[in-house]
Homo-oligomer: A and B are copies of this chain.
Amino acid sequence: MSQSEKTKGKLIRSAKKIFSEKGFWDTKVSDIVKDAGVAQGTFYLYFKSKDEIFKELVLEIRNHIIEIIDKYKNADENIIKTLIDLKSEILEYLYQNKEIARIFLFQLFTKEELMQIYFETLNYIEDFDKNLIQKGVAKGVIKYPDVENIINIILGYGRRLFETEVLLKGKPLDEVKKIQKEGIQIIFKGIS
């Protein structure tokens, strides 16, 4: 790895850490460079601005989530299994990247542009879920017809699970996966 790649990496690692702890506004560029062990000027060799590095982190999550979903785009196993597997994989990614996950969930709501990225990503998930649920309704496996509302239950649950069980309580991944699976099964029982 070249020197410059190393330095940029250090800056990104420090930025993730500090943005996730203190949020965008309370994080000073001077905090990031101090943590990374480089000078203020060095930061600007790698990033145009504080805004830019922040956006880069946010896009990293968005892109990864979209990638995961795309893998499932042509899965045609049974509906509930697909959903459980997908949610489990997203959970795992967020679990392994708690810092940027925290940024994504909590720190995007003051900048219009970042909110758009957030909602765009959410929409992508919603569309996938909607498609899946609609198949279930068509097949008659799912009796409750308000697809939007089902998605509200599922997505609301997913977010909350990550917030409380992972971020607040710090439960291990396997346990949270198991809980999530149960939760989804319960929801499916409810709409059957």
Report which A residues bind B (CB closer than 8 A): 22-26, 106-107, 109-111, 144, 146, 149-150, 152-153, 155-161, 164-165, 179, 182-183, 186-191
Contact = CB atoms under 8 A, between A and B. Distances in A.
28 contacts: A23-B110, A24-B25, A24-B110, A25-B110, A26-B110, A26-B111, A146-B182, A150-B186, A152-B160, A152-B165, A152-B179, A153-B156, A153-B157, A153-B160, A153-B183, A156-B156, A156-B158, A156-B159, A156-B160, A157-B157, A159-B160, A186-B187, A187-B187, A187-B190, A188-B190, A189-B189, A189-B190, A190-B190
A182 B149 contact: yes
A31 to B, nearest CB: 14
